[in-house]
Chains A and B, each alone.
Chain A
Amino acid sequence: MTTTEQTDGIVGRGNRDGAALFRDWFAELNEVAENGGRAAYVFVMGSLNEVLKTFDLPVVFPEINSLQTAVRRVAHEYLDVAEDAGYSPDICGYVKADFATQIQDGRHPMGRIPKPALTVYTNACNTYIKWAEIWERLHKIPLFTLDVPGTRQGGLITLGGDVDFENDKRYVKAQLLELIELCKKVTGKPFDIDRLREVMGFANTMSRGWKRVLELNAKTPSVFNALTDGTIYLGVANGMRGTPEGAKYFDDLVEEMEYKAANGIGTLTDEKYRLVFVGVPCYPIFRRFNELFTEWGGTFVNSTYLWFASGGTNRGFEYDLADPLDSLAEGLLISVRDAMDSMFHQDRVLNEVIDDFGIDGVVYHPIKSCRTTSTGMADSRRYLMSQRDIPTLFIESDMMDRRVVSEAQLKNRSDAFFEGLAARKAQAGASAPS
């Protein structure tokens, strides 16, 4: 194989394969729906795929379904349906797009979405609970809440051996045993602990790979764009968690990123400014939003979205397969807690990322229809700026609702941000010793 052939095969593979896996996944869901089958409805911040896949339950991520309507530029049609039914313009756009999907018999641009057999969610997002209650009313299904204790004090991370941690772990494990009983009842299948080990083994490969992929972006030039490419990888990290396809994907992705890092192959952007993104992407103008930054040579090399929206699996926690239930409880506790911290206390990690990733600027993106990720962001920004001499940008739009996305206003702010970054670089260059 020549070098060119090798490059052609490896570079960009993560994006191609990710898109293909997504198409296959939605095709399978469509088939389930057409055959009258049902699925487990789950969320990105603690999907519990490990347990659900053990019972061979197809999984639906309503958050992913909803954001896909925005990326495919039809979200407004869904939002209108939900608002006509009485939902307020001010609430979560994901909830509304999903509600519209539910009352339109699962109609979705990527195929038909099956109805739920049960729903499983964590307390990482307060909206999850009220959202699931809608399905309970519509479909008369059981709800399962996994209550994961969060960080008791900002910056105080407890781990194994700590009395609070051990108590929290027992609490999570007891809930997992309840979930297993519920899955047995819903599916009519017995629980197979060896099957759980197998699923957790695939999840281990994915978590390990995800952590490594994110670490590799500390290289200059960055090997992927955390806002665009990263969102594709994130989709696989969630949707295929605990599957052989997901594990292979992340093995391949690590190989691709290692290859790019070793050969100095960066993103398509001529990287002048390395940025970190805080918040949820602007899906209604997903590509264009990114261009506001790449036009100036700005690349997102990291993103808090890739942390919290992967349920904290970016930490790379690997389960001990010798004691699967105990380890699953520990892993969920550590990862979901970290996802919550990535939303509410991200300033501490950002402080480290600024150094480790050579960050030139931090872009905060609060959005109208997600209070969970946006509340407190202005304070976090102010705190970070009090700690570090780092330029920041604060731009507001939405993850779903194009009515509150103003490209001209976004551009005016991003242009001013880059003019400041350029002046700062020029000044630093002028004062650098020759």
Chain B
Amino acid sequence: MSITAGIDVGSTYTKAIVLEGDSVIGMAMKATGFKLTEVSEAMFDAAIADAGISREEVQYTIATGYGRHQCKVKDLAVTDLTAAARGAHFFFPATRTVLDIGGQTMKATKIDESARVKSFRLNDKCAAGTGAFLEKTARYMGFTTEEIGGLMDTSKEHVTISGVCAVFAESEVINHLSQGTSPADIMQGSADSLSARSVQLLKRVKAEPEYTLIGGLLRWPRMVDTIAGQLDAEVNAPAGEMVQYTGAVGAALLGRIRLNKLAEKDAVEQTA
């Protein structure tokens, strides 16, 4: 059975996956930082160590994400849109729309039954509508990123956050705190605001069900519920950590497809 790897060098986290057939046998994740080459190689090594194999046993490696071109251990680079489409299709084969919300970008992609990208829209010009917005909101209130999910879970009454600008968020947060609003409700209000923006993006690609949500922000179940509520539709989200690893899984799957094509080509050449 073939062993392939996918490395997703995202703007905030770098994720690596090792697949043997359809099974995940190794995985690793770390904050990307600013040394993209080093972190991609480190996560590749960590994932194969997790799998208990050596580098030589990995037959094909595909890098994806913003930092994909800086990854030196790859055989090929593909965009995060293509990788995410393949990964989402792997977890939910009836997926027709993928919403990927990461640390710095939000992407809506419409795909066909074979996981090919039909159209896409990106929000990557500012931090509005991305993880950075929620992170800043949390930080202004003295909480860490990892506490965001817990905060949202304890929210009782949503407040309205009118904007999603990460720069102006501070004044709005201060305003709400001065009125005695709880941090949990402010956090949920921010999630509502961000979710509304994601639904706008989905409308722009003329999104169709099934919807699959992926990316770092969707690791909080409350975020998935918020988007589903605003979309007024059932949504999929890969279980557990896989919601963050979907792009890397897609890259590894594309590696397997590429490997098979190369094998077919060799077979044809040998026959000829």
Whether the pair A419, B79 counts as a contact (CB closer than 8 A) is: yes
Segment of B24-32, B41-49, B119-127 engaged in the interface with chain A: B119-127
Whether the pair A412, B116 counts as a contact (CB closer than 8 A) is: no
Does residue A409 face the partner (Cβ distance < 8 Å to B)?
yes
Does residue A91 face the partner (Cβ distance < 8 Å to B)?
no
Does residue A31 face the partner (Cβ distance < 8 Å to B)?
no
Closest to A423 in B: B116
Given contacts A420-B116, A423-B117, A427-B116, contact A409 B81 (CB under 8 A): no
Whether the pair A419, B82 counts as a contact (CB closer than 8 A) is: yes
Does residue B196 face the partner (Cβ distance < 8 Å to A)?
no
Whether the pair A409, B117 counts as a contact (CB closer than 8 A) is: no
**Which residues of A are found within 8 Å of B82, using beta-carbon distances?**
416, 419
Does residue A73 face the partner (Cβ distance < 8 Å to B)?
no
Quote the shortest CB–CB distance from B262 to chain A (angstroms): 15
Quote the shortest CB–CB distance from A405 to chain B (angstroms): 12
Does residue A413 face the partner (Cβ distance < 8 Å to B)?
yes
Chain B: number of interface residues, binned into ranges: 10 to 19
Does residue B80 face the partner (Cβ distance < 8 Å to A)?
yes
What separation, in Å, do the CA atoms of A396 and B124 have in the docked complex? 11
Interface size on A, residues (CB 8 A): 12
Does residue A408 face the partner (Cβ distance < 8 Å to B)?
yes
What separation, in Å, do the CA atoms of A235 and B251 have in the docked complex? 45
List residues 403-434 of chain A with CB under 8 A from any CB of chain B: 406, 408-409, 412-413, 415-416, 419-420, 423, 427
Whether the pair B66, A420 counts as a contact (CB closer than 8 A) is: no
**Which residues of A are found within 8 Å of B124, using beta-carbon distances?**
409, 412
What separation, in Å, do the CA atoms of A427 and B124 have in the docked complex? 30
List residues 53-111 of chain B with CB under 8 A from any CB of chain A: 66, 78-82
Whether the pair A408, B117 counts as a contact (CB closer than 8 A) is: no
Whether the pair A416, B79 counts as a contact (CB closer than 8 A) is: yes
Whether the pair A416, B66 counts as a contact (CB closer than 8 A) is: no
Given contacts A419-B78, A419-B82, contact A413 B122 (CB under 8 A): yes
Partner of A412, one of B80, B117, B118: B80
**Which residues of B are found within 8 Å of A409, using beta-carbon distances?**
122, 124-125
Whether the pair A412, B79 counts as a contact (CB closer than 8 A) is: yes
**Which residues of A are found within 8 Å of B81, using beta-carbon distances?**
416, 419
**Which residues of B are found within 8 Å of A423, using beta-carbon distances?**
116-117
25 sampled A-B residue pairs with Cβ under 8 A: A396-B125, A406-B125, A408-B66, A409-B122, A409-B124, A409-B125, A412-B66, A412-B80, A413-B122, A415-B78, A415-B79, A416-B79, A416-B81, A416-B82, A416-B117, A416-B120, A419-B78, A419-B79, A419-B81, A419-B82, A419-B117, A420-B116, A420-B117, A423-B116, A423-B117
